[in-house]
Amino acid sequence: MLECMCYYVRMIFKQLFDTKSSTYTYLISSGQGREALIIDPVIKDVNEYINLLKELDLKLVKVIDTHIHADHVTGASKLKDITKCSTIMGEHTPAETVEIKVKDDEFINLDNLKIRAIYTPGHTSDSYSFLMNNYLFSGDTLLINGTGRTDFQNGSSKDAYNSIFNRLLKLPDETLLYPAHDYNGEKNSTIGKEKKFNPRLQVNNVEEYIEIMNNLNLKKPSEIEFNVSKNINLGA
């Protein structure tokens, strides 16, 4: 697991990378009350997360999954068992065991930090992005130089277009983009860069975007049925 740590004022922000699934996981703390939150944890890396929390003297209080993942098993349930943290997903999730289901534009509080939930369906029907100050955690909806596929889990290219162009790309150009995956060694981007350089966003209308997505011809994740069935129960 590779990692990158940044400090902003008193905030602690840690970006972690699972090499097998190319998944980015994010650990966030205000640094004031020592409360921490993790976004998109991977089950096989839970012990590393626990060690990092101890090293940083942080208490995990909330875990967020941006959607039901198909390419890895979430560590949400295991983290809850160990730390007694709350589990959070968007209200459209089919995962019944989630403790807190947030609505579109609802805020999640973490000490003095506020994280806004943004409903961004398309990659899956339950996909949410989360905005904290100028940090956008976009899940699989908007990637660096790409966008999330829409050919399974009730995905919709039309919904993805609306989520990206009418929600995420309306954010300020300087908004920092932190996706749930990257396959080329990129760690972050900005909304402005993606508008200008992301090849899937260089379209004139929704029909052109749908045409691109319909012709990706991607293989399904090798363990999609197992992963989805586990993630419906938060990895338990």
Q: Are 131 and 118 in contact, with CB atoms under 8 Å apart?
A: yes
Mean pLDDT, rounded, for 120-144 = 98
Mean pLDDT, rounded, for 135-154 = 97
Domain boundaries, the chain: 2-231
79 Cβ contact partners less than 8 Å away, ≥ 6 residues apart? 38, 41, 46, 49, 50, 60, 63, 85
DSSP string, 108-124: EEETTEEEEEEE--SSS
Task: Look at residue 7 in the predicted model and tell me its pLDDT.
Answer: 43
Per-residue pLDDT reduced to its tens digit, 46-61: 999 999 999 999 999 9
In the CATH hierarchy, which fold is given to the domain comprising 2-231? Metallo-beta-lactamase; Chain A (3.60.15)
Per-residue pLDDT reduced to its tens digit, 175-228: 999 999 999 999 999 999 999 999 999 999 999 999 999 999 999 888 999 999
Banded model confidence at residue 9, pLDDT cuts 50, 70, 90:
very low
Banded model confidence at residue 33, pLDDT cuts 50, 70, 90:
confident
- pTM (two decimals): 0.94
Task: Look at residue 85 in the predicted model and tell me its pLDDT.
Answer: 98
226 Cβ contact partners less than 8 Å away, ≥ 6 residues apart? 73
CA distance linking residue 37 with residue 97, whole number of Å: 18
